[in-house]
Every structure is written in structure tokens, then in C-alpha cells.
Chain A
Amino acid sequence: MYVAHVGHWLVNVAYFLPVVAFLAWLIVTQLKERRRSRSGG
């Protein structure tokens, strides 16, 4: 049923893509930075 109505919920998901993308970028950069500071220290 969810596959059949993919068009409906995909539009809803589209609204939240910017925040999901931004959070993913934020978490990745923060993890990278931590790894870098750990290997540097």
C-alpha cells in the first residue's frame, strides 16, 4: 500500500530533506573533526 501511494508520502518527505541533509553533513563534519583532533593530539 505504501509503495502504491509513494507519490503522496514522497512529497511529505521532500519537505524535510533540507534538515536531514544538513544534519547528516553536520554529524559527518563533527565526527571527522573529532577524529582529526584525536589523531593530532
Chain B
Amino acid sequence: MTSIAHGLVSRSDLPIPEWLFGWAAAMVLVVSFVALAILWPEPRLERERWRPLPGELGRLFGSRPVEFLCGAIGVFLLGVVVYTGLRGTQSPTANFAPPFIYVIFWLGLLPVSILFGDVFKAFNPWRAIGRTVGWIGGKAARGGLPAALAYPERLGHWPAAAGIFAFAVMELVAANGDRPENLAIATLVYSALTFVAMALYGVETWIARGEAFSVYFNLFSRISPFETRHRVVGLRQPLAGLPALRPLAGTVPLLAVMIGTVTFDGASEAPIWTGIAPDIANLFQDIGVSPQNSLELTFLIGLTATVLLVYGFYRLGALGAKSVGGGFSSTRLARGFVHSLVPIAFAYVAAHYLTLLLFQGQSIAFLASDPLGDGSNLFGTADSQIDYTIIGANATWYWQVGFVVVGHVAALTLAHDRALALYDHARLAVRSQYWMLAVMVGFTSLALWLLSQANA
């Protein structure tokens, strides 16, 4: 079942070899690059253009009652996850908590954010609880609540990067990371840490910078044409939210974590990893570490190394861009172009987890009726089953290639637009983008190779 869920079904009748798709994708990027250099002479995405939704729709969607309702749903779902994780069956596929966290929340919210904007902010249970407690505390305390501490600049997005990395460790490294009870406890621990951080630095500050999932989904929501400003939902150009991203300390590592963790998930199925992983695990066993812990440490090393490789590759691109001149440091360039990595992160997640979302996402229909796995049938859907025929192997491959190409062309467009705004001379801007093009072609090749490994 896992192999089908991950799209590991054979594609025997593709018209050309899979690696040739990689070459074609690289060609698409080169042609896009040339087209951008000729047809896109001025920065267009950097300009702020936002208008509220027509009529009263924008105000309605951004209103307090809607926000309260969404927050209440978020808190309810958080409660269901913790309750089912602790009290339900410990079979990961028969309990509501694991598929909800790893598929519906982690993967399902991604396309929702891309299409409709920062939806998670409205449903965020920690924000809803934090704001409610803050409001009650403010009313109850006579002199008002003490002011929040100033958020340390050097922390930047580092807590979010650490949070996403920890989530990936739970999903990809921990042997019992899908055990419902462990997930419920991890949720409680994360909730406690979030509440402490909110109490220290303020709810909105922590949500905007430190809370891992808020930052994660907010980054993707910047691709969307919808944005909420001052409680009004409005429209902007697609992608235009990304140039407005203010890079902080840790923003580049955060994107490296986002891309690197998916990369490792794909690479861990490849012979290159399955060949060396046992050898590394044996080294740990030789010094007395248990077999299970040895394997976990091996996967932790693999995950960390992959994130560092992705980070290093991007920094090399920035170093190359620096070499063309313009007087910018490579750190400045790395931060200046980091927003262009967001569509790449989307492409990686969408392509790698497409079938997992489409197939395992259906399990929520029967798990909603039987969340504890005890045979109950709350909504009459407990007998529904996963339909594995909704998408074929070849169609999956074409969608995956499509996501990879579109994501990288979007990244190229964002980088080109930023270069035009950054450099005084258009020629220098284009030359600096040779290096970013190399980064994009590299990530494209890697993405398609990873997908092919799932079929190896």
C-alpha cells in the first residue's frame, strides 16, 4: 500500500525515457530565461498592487466572526488529534491522528494555501488560544498584561526552521514517528512551547516569525492571489506576495530545510542511499548502539546532510552571482533571492507527495467516522475505501513533471524580477541570473531524478 501511496507504481509505456524529461525540463528553463531577458525588462512583481474583493466579500471573509469560527474549528481539530492519539487504537492507519497530521494538515493545507492564501492563520489553534487567553488576561489583569519582550533579531526564522526540521525528523527518522500516542505527545509538547514563546514575544510576533507551521504555510500562501490586509481579503498578482517577504536570519536555512527534507524523503528510496545506509548503521551498532537507534541516527545524518547540501548548493549559486559584480555580498544575494526558492519548495512537495495526498487523503472519510479505530460509525462513512484508480501512473508522472517545471519557471521569474530591482544595469542583472539559472536547472534535475528513484 505504501508503494502505491508514494506513486511507486511502474510507468512502463512513457513515450521517452524518464531522464529525457529532465533534459526537456532544463530546456524549458533555458528558453524561459531567454524569454525573460528579452520580454521582461523591468521589475513588475516588486510593486504592491492589492485591491479588496468586490462588494462586502473581502470584509466578510476577514471579519472577526469568521476568524473566531475558523479558530474554533482549529482548536477542535487540535483537541481531536490529541484525544484520538492518546485514546484510540495505536495502528497508524486506523487512527485519525497520523493521517490527519501527515496528510490532511501537512500536505492538504499546501494547495489550499497556494489557491486561497494564508488560510492556516485563520485556523491556527495556537493563535486562536493565544489571542483568547491574551484577551481574557487583559480583561482580568488590573493594570493590563505586561508588555511582550522584543523579539531578538538574530532569532529570525531560526525557530521555524528548527520546528520544520523537528517535524521532518518525526516523520522520516523516528522509528515510531507515526504512532498515534507519540504524535499526540509531540503535539502537546509543541503546543506548550508555542504558548510559552507567545507569552514571551507576543502572539502575532511569534506567529509571524517563530511558529513553524504558520511561517511554513505563510510562505506558500505568498504564491496565492489572495491576501488579507487589515481584516479585508483582497486580490493581488499571483506570486506578488513573495517579493514582499522580508528575509530574516534563518530564512535561507528554513527554505533549505523545506526543500532538503523532501529531497531526503525521495533520496532515501534511491539505491545510492539504501546501499550506504546499512553500512553507516553498522558503524553505530559496532559501538554498542541498538539496531533501531542506529538506523534512526543514520537517517538523521542523511536528513541533515541533505539539508546542508541543498543549503550549500544555493549558497554556491549566490557566490557565483556575486562574482559577476554589482558590489553585493553573497549573503546579501542569498537573502535577496531566497523568496524564489518558495515555488521550488512547492514543486518538490507537490510532485513528491501528490499520490500520498490523493490516495491517503481519502482515508479521512472513514477515519472521521471511526477516529479512534474502535468500530464506531459516526457519520456513516466508516466503510468507505480508498480508490487507487483516481489517477494512473503515467498521469501521475506528467503531473509531477508539470509541477516541477512550473515551480522552477516561477522561481526563475521571481529571481529575474528581483535582479532587475537589485542591479543598476539590466545586463548585470541578467548575468547574475546565469548562476540562479544553474541553481534552478540543478534543482529541476534533482527533483526529476528523485521522482525516478521512486520508480527504480
> Which residues in A have some Cβ–Cβ distance to B below 8 Å?
8, 11-12, 14-19, 22-23, 26, 30
Contact = CB atoms under 8 A, between A and B. Distances in A.
Nearest to B29: A18
Contacts of A14: 19, 22-23
Contacts of B452: 15
Interface in B10-40: 17, 19, 22-23, 26-27, 30
Contacts of B449: 12, 15-16
Given A12-B449, A15-B449, A30-B323, A22 B441 contact: yes
Nearest to A30: B323
Contact of B26 (A11, A19, A26): A19
B435 A19 contact: no
B435 A26 contact: yes
Contacts of A11: 17, 19
Interface residues of B, number: 23
A18 B26 contact: yes
B441 to A, nearest CB: 5
A19 B445 CA distance: 7
A12 B445 CA distance: 10
B441 A18 contact: yes
Contact of B434 (A12, A16, A19, A26): A26
A26 B438 CA distance: 9
A26 B441 contact: no
B320 interface: yes
A22 B19 contact: no
Given A16-B449, A19-B438, 16 more contacts: A8-B271, A12-B449, A14-B19, A15-B19, A15-B452, A16-B442, A18-B22, A18-B445, A19-B441, A19-B442, A19-B445, A22-B26, A22-B30, A22-B441, A26-B320, A30-B324
B437 A22 contact: yes
Contacts of A16: 442, 445-446, 449
Contacts of B435: 26
Contact of A22 (B271, B272, B323, B438): B438
Contacts of B27: 18
29 contacts: A8-B271, A11-B17, A11-B19, A12-B272, A12-B449, A14-B22, A15-B19, A15-B22, A15-B446, A15-B448, A15-B449, A16-B445, A16-B446, A16-B449, A17-B23, A18-B22, A18-B26, A18-B441, A18-B445, A19-B26, A19-B441, A22-B26, A22-B30, A22-B438, A22-B441, A23-B438, A26-B435, A26-B438, A30-B324
Contacts of A30: 323-324
Contacts of B446: 15-16
A8 to B, nearest CB: 8
B418 to A, nearest CB: 19
Nearest to B451: A15
A11 B30 CA distance: 22
A9 to B, nearest CB: 9
A20 B435 CA distance: 12
Q: Ordered nearest first, which 3 A-B pairs have the shortest CB separation?
A: A18-B26, A15-B449, A14-B19
Contacts of B434: 26
Contacts of B30: 22
A38 B261 CA distance: 43
Interface string B172-210: 000000000000000000000000000000000000000
Between A15, A18, A30, the greatest number of chain B beta carbons within 10 A of the residue's beta carbon is seen for A15
Contacts of B22: 14-15, 18
A4 to B, nearest CB: 14
A16 B434 CA distance: 17
A21 B26 CA distance: 11
B23 A18 contact: yes
A11 B19 CA distance: 7
Contacts of B441: 18-19, 22
A19 to B, nearest CB: 4
A36 B441 CA distance: 28
Contacts of A23: 438
A16 B449 CA distance: 8
A10 to B, nearest CB: 10
Contacts of B442: 16, 19
A10 B27 CA distance: 20
A34 to B, nearest CB: 9
